[in-house]
């Protein structure tokens, strides 16, 4: 009798795990939607030290930076392509 109860409980838990894995979990664990993309364009100051002396130059160079992040499956054009 105990073996039959364990078999029923074990089967129920396996079915419950399969339902969780294939129907509930994908909706609950999706952090960002497919095709999500983020971009940042900003101006910053760039200063690299001299390799010989290790000192930074007196003048800084202003530069434009582009960052583009996307999830796999995102086929958006990069912002600097346009």
What is the pLDDT averaged over residues 47-76?
A: 78
Judge whether residue 67 has pLDDT over 90: no
Domain ranges of the chain: 2-47+60-72
- Collapsing DSSP to helix, strand or coil, 46 comes out as strand
What gap in Å lies between CA 59 and CA 40, rounded to an integer? Answer: 25
Give me the mean pLDDT over the 10-23 stretch.
92
Question: Under 8 Å CB-to-CB from 40, ≥6 apart: which residues?
Answer: 65, 66, 67
Supply the pTM of this predicted model. 0.37
pLDDT of 77: 47
Mean pLDDT of 20-43: 80
């Amino acid at each position: 009798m105990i073996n039959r109860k364990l078999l029923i409980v074990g089967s129920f838990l396996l079915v419950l795990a399969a339902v969780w894995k294939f129907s509930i979990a994908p909706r609950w664990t999706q952090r960002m939607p497919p095709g999500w993309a983020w971009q940042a364009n900003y101006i910053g100051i760039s200063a690299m030290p001299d390799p010989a002396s290790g000192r930074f130059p007196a003048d800084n160079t202003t530069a434009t930076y582009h960052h583009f992040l996307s999830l796999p499956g995102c086929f958006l054009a990069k912002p600097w392509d346009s």
